[in-house]
Amino acid sequence: MAIKPSPRFAILLSLFHAIVAIVVYAAAMPLVARWAIILLILLSLFYYLARDVLLLLPDSWRDIALDKNSVSVVSRDGSSFFGQVANKTVVSPHFVVLRIKSDNHLLPVSRVIFPDALGADAFRDLRVRMKFA
């Protein structure tokens, strides 16, 4: 399943980062600390937009292949890894949080996949396979 940029994820990611920045700005703390935290929030936004939405970074997921008991992921730089679906994978009609436990990574790797990042049939297939994985 080829993954493409998701406008829905971009909007939600931007909205959540904006809400957190507003809360930090309204907090009772020194002005320098507020601006430093807001800068970190903006850096976080740019990183996740580049990696997960625009798929510009080398470790951005470009393709997912599901087998009966394993998952194969191909990154933008052409590297791939295999793993098992981790136990805290979340499946809903609106999005899938895919967590993969691989031998190459110490912790499970997670990505959020929205329906507009895949075709309708591919997203439905992903949801069904994750329900029974």
Query: What distances in angstroms separate CA 65 from CA 7, 35, 46, 82, 119, one per listed residue?
Result: 23, 42, 27, 9, 14
Confidence band (pLDDT; 50, 70, 90) for 49?
very high
The pTM assigned to this predicted structure is: 0.85
CA pair distance 95, 30, nearest whole angstrom: 38
The count of residues in the chain is 133
What pLDDT score was predicted for residue 13?
Answer: 96
What pLDDT score was predicted for residue 133?
Answer: 62
Q: Which residues are bridge partners to 110 per DSSP?
A: 99
Secondary structure class of 95 (helix, strand, coil):
coil
Q: Which of 41-45, 96-100, 121-125, 126-130 has the highest mean pLDDT?
A: 41-45
The stretch 119-125 carries a mean pLDDT of: 88
